[in-house]
Structures are given as C-alpha cells and as structure tokens.
Amino acid sequence: MTHLIDTFTSVLHQSALKPRRLIVAFSGGVDSRVLLELASQYAKSHDIECCAVHVHHGLSKNADLWAEQCQTWCDALSIPLAIERVLLDLNSGESVEKLARDARYHAFKQHIQYGDVLVTGQHIDDQVETFLLALKRGSGPKGLSSMAKVMPFCDAHIVRPLLSVTRTEIEVAAHDMGLTWVEDESNQDVRFDRNFIRHQVTPVLTERWPSFRESVSRSAQLCAEQELLLDELLESHFQQALGDSQSLSIEALSQHSDLLRARLLRMWLSHCNQSMPSKKQLKLIWDEVACAQADANPKLVLNDVEVRRFNHHLYIVKETKDLSCWHADVVLGDNLELPDSLGKLQLMLSSNDAVSNGRNSQNFSLKDTSGVLRITFNPEGLSAHPIGRGHSRKLKKLFQEYQVPSWLRRRTPILMDGDRVIAVLGLFVDKDYQGQDCEVLWSK
C-alpha cells in the first residue's frame, strides 16, 4: 500500500495539477477498488473533496448488485457516489467495448467541474493491451502512444496514477488491505479483443520477454513525445491556417504537401476535440469536401459531427435539429428560451438599461406594427429590405450576402411582425422598422 500511495501521490504532484476535487471512476473491480482507497487517503491528507462515479451499463445480470456493492464501499469511506445508468445501442455496428467506453466517459462528463481531476485505474497491463490493439488496427504514432498519464478532459483533467503499476501489484495490495471487489464475468470472454490479448497474448510475450510490458510502455511514451514534437514544430503553420469560429483555411492547406496537410487536418480535429479519423477519412475531407466543385455544398459525416465547407474554409458542424417548423409568439418584456441550446431572446423597450447596448442587441421601432410578434427560423419565401440597402431581397440571397454558412441559415432567429420581417437577429433590421424605441437581445 505504501508503494502505491507514493506512486499515486507522485503522479499527481508531477502533473503540477492542484485538484479542486478528486473524481474516482469506480467500477468496483480490483483496480478501481484499490484506486478508491488511494484517492480517499490522498484527499484526506490534502484536505480536498473526493467523489466517485459508477457507470451501470446493464450488460450483466449482476449489474444491480455491483452498483449496490459500490455504494456500500463508498459509504464506508464517506465518499459520495453517483450511479449513472446508461443504455447502449447494441445494433449500431460498433463493438460493445467501444460503446461501453464511450458511454462511461460521457457519464463522467456529467460530474466534472472546472479544476476537478478524474482518476482512473488503468495500469501497465492495460497499457500493453491498448498498444497491441492500436497495432492491430494499423495505427500510427498517435494511436501507439496509447494512454497518457495526464490529459485534458472537459474543463478538467484525467489522471491515470497507476499506469506504471502491474495488475499483479494491484491485486497483492488489495489482498494486503483486506479488500473485496466485484468480478465482471465478461472479463474472461476471449471473444472480446482486449480479453483475448490479456489472457492469450500478453502472458506468452511476458514469459518470453519478462520486461516486455516496460518496453511497450517506453515505446508508447516515445510515440507520444514524437507527436508532441511534431505538433510543436507545426504549430505556426496550424495557427496560420486556423480561421474564425475554429475554421480551417483551404487556401493555407493547399500550399502544403499531402503529408503535411494531413497532419494539419489531424491537429485541427484534435483542436476541435474530435476523435482521430482514418487515413481514408482524411483523404475524403480533402478530396470530397475541400476540393468539391465551387457551387457544391459538400459535407462528410465523422462520428456525430460533419465537416463542411464555406467561403474557402472547413468547419466542424455538430448535428443539430431541424428548426424549420419551430415558431413562438413574443411580446415586449418577454424572455424567450430558444430551442436546441440556441440561447434566449429578450424583447423590451430601449429605455430598459438592463440590456441596453448589449453586444448582440438590435434596435428597432414598432410604430407601424400590424400583427402578432413572433420568432421563426424558416426563411422560406421571406423577403426583407435591410437598412442602408437599395432594395429588398429574398432572405436566401441576404444570407449569402451576409456570409452566413448554409447550416446556420435555419438556426438564426427571425423576428416577425405578422408576415413581415422586422429583423434577422445578429444581421440587420428592416428599413420599415428603423428606430430606437425597442431592443431585442440575443444571448447565445
């Protein structure tokens, strides 16, 4: 136990992080069971809060029992436990391992706050398995760098303090401390790739080469260092290509070789917190999105986002709802919550100093109002005459003139007076409503 708490403490101190809270990823297995004890001891000695999160996948008939047992162990240590139940789409075509992993980290995100440290129980044997799985997939240095001891996560960090410790050392420590833990029966099922490596590959390799785990860990570290060095050397090129709204300049990319361009695309996706694409997907981003015909509106789906092109730039666009049919009446003094996390609107007389001069505010007049005020997102068939323009135009053309990307044209609120456009928020006010009497503020 002394060896493990020293390792745990050393990793946290070397990371230079000062955790506001420790959040333990707590499955109830032997690794996380020991991790919980170490985190509890560290939190007490450093006077910080310690919490735990258990993810209930529902894949085993024993899942409810495991959750109850985890609650008992946390109660004994006075550690608050959150139990997150997740549903996996087993018909998605993805492996159960990936679905479960993605669901776990999504669940952890719900409990992470700024300054927290999420500690997980992966050890050097897990690192070997991750390395060999990446090798099996034909991964490059990024994938072969496997798991980092410290990495950003949301507004916090993930720390893997036991990554240099073997599974055997953890089990010995658990026995020495008199701990009990749950045994996931699926861990013996060699139909799963990781279990196959664990039970049938790694034992043979370590019997032949006893230092094989340490060698793999060193190779993973070297790959990680190479990746960091490449990023450092190419940072100036990346910053030159990076545009507004996290877009990427196609013109800047076109000035580089295929290899360098592919690297910049990977850096961009990482910068936008996206998972790394395959070599084939990278080629599709360039060939079918960046280099599509000028009048095309190309897109490529990557996981739950789209890579889109607009105005000679590439954009990452998250999947959004179709808001064409959404509308709502609004009256002066109202606060209106917009759908799909688009923020809220405040509509009031301009004399109200609470929102006056707001960054996203627009002033207008309702002296000639003729109908009920409402908000819509559907520009179909609508025309407007922006103040300062010579004539009216269809909103479709105005969106183009105001350089609004195609995927935002039905996500931009339109303030209507009956069937007449008062304003397109963030863009313009119609000349018939020119004035300073009223104000609309769009808080995104």
Assign 3-class secondary structure to the chain: CHHHHHHHHHHHHHCCCCCCEEEEECCCCHHHHHHHHHHHHHHHHCCCEEEEEEEECCCCCCHHHHHHHHHHHHHHCCCCEEEEECCCCCCCCCCHHHHHHHHHHHHHHCCCCCCCEEECCCCHHHHHHHHHHHHHHCCCHHHHCCCCCEEEECCEEEECCCCCCCHHHHHHHHHHCCCCCCCCHHHHCCCCHHHHHHHHHHHHHHHHCCCHHHHHHHHHHHHHHHHHHHHHHHHHHHHHHECHHHCEEHHHHHCCCHHHHHHHHHHHHHHCCCCCCCHHHHHHHHHHHHCCCCCCCCEEEECCEEEEEECCEEEEEECCCCCCCCEEECCCCCEEECCCCCCEEEEEECCCCCCCCCCCEEEECCCCCCCCEEEECCCCCCEECECCCCCCEEHHHHHHHCCCCHHHCCCCCEEEECCEEEEECCCEEEHHHCCCCEEEEEEC
Is 149 domain-assigned?
A: yes
Residue 232 included in any domain: no
Q: Are residues 166 and 36 in the same domain?
A: yes
**Residue 230 within any structural domain of the chain:** no
Q: Which pLDDT score is estimated for 195?
A: 93
Which residues does the chain have with pLDDT short of 70?
1, 351-359, 368-371
Last residue of a domain, one of 208, 224, 259: 208
Residue 219 domain flag: no
Same domain for 356 and 309, yes or no, is no
pLDDT of residue 127: 96
Q: How far apart are CA 201 and CA 66, in angstroms?
A: 29
Q: Looking at residue 87, what is its pLDDT?
A: 86
Residues in a beta bridge with 165 = none
Q: Are residues 342 and 267 in the same domain?
A: no
CATH for 54: 3.40.50.620
User: Is 234 within a domain?
Assistant: no
Q: Which of 159, 188, 208 is the last residue of a domain?
A: 208
Is 338 found in the same domain as 314?
no
Q: Is residue 303 part of a domain?
A: yes
Binding positions for ATP are 27-32
Annotated binding-site ranges: 27-32
Domain co-membership, 5 together with 113: yes
Q: Let me know whether 293 and 338 are in one domain.
A: no
- The pLDDT score that the predictor gives to residue 319 is 79
Is the domain of 339 the same as that of 299? no
Are residue 177 and residue 28 in the same domain, yes or no? yes
Q: Are residues 336 and 313 in the same domain?
A: no
Number of domains in the chain: 3
- Is the residue at 228 inside a domain? no
Q: What is the pLDDT of residue 93?
A: 75
Instruction: Answer whether residue 301 is part of any domain.
Output: yes
pLDDT per residue as tens digits for the range 265-320: 999 999 998 888 888 999 999 999 999 998 888 999 988 899 999 999 999 998 78
**Same domain assignment for residues 13 and 108:** yes
The pLDDT of residue 168? 94
Asked if residues 248 and 314 have their Cβ atoms less than 8 Å apart, the reply is yes
Give residue 126's domain range.
Answer: 1-208
Q: How far apart are CA 76 and CA 59, in angstroms?
A: 27
pLDDT of residue 52: 97
Q: Are residues 193 and 265 in the same domain?
A: no
Same domain, 34 and 150: yes
In this structure, what token pair is assigned to residue 367?
A: 């002296």
Q: Which of 162, 186, 208 is the last residue of a domain?
A: 208
Residue 359: per-residue pLDDT: 52
Which pLDDT belongs to residue 244? 87
